[in-house]
Structure 1
Amino acid sequence: MVFLAIGRSELSTENFFDPVAAAINRREPSAWFRQGRLWALALVLNLVGGTVMAAIFTIEGALLSGPTRF
């Protein structure tokens, strides 16, 4: 969250302003359906990615323990 705030970025891999602007510009119900599908897909994939990372970090030895020297 710190990197997002400092970098003035969004919590996804895609800038969601452009698809919203396109949906508003088209004024078609199908554009809003595609927008919702994009957001749902991004949510699901972010949750899957977070789950995979959590599973990796719970494996013994996946993270360094103790003091390290670089």
Structure 2
Amino acid sequence: MVRLSLRLPETLHARLVEQASADRRSLNSEILHLLENALGPAEGVAGPPGRRPASPGALGGRPESSSA
């Protein structure tokens, strides 16, 4: 595991902390989750079952019923 020091704008940090809390994750786990979703699985490594792609593709079937 690599330890990393990262500089973030305060507003981005606040958004990450809020999202981590909503997802019941630590800040570190939330950042890892977001990066893994954005980058996809490593080459030659299958992702976990049921994983959603980072970028939505064409809609197939019903759209999600959640609203922002």
Q: TM-score, normalised by structure 1?
A: 0.25
Asked which structure has the greater CA Rg, the reply is 1
- Given the two structures, how large is their TM-score scaled by the length of structure 2? 0.25
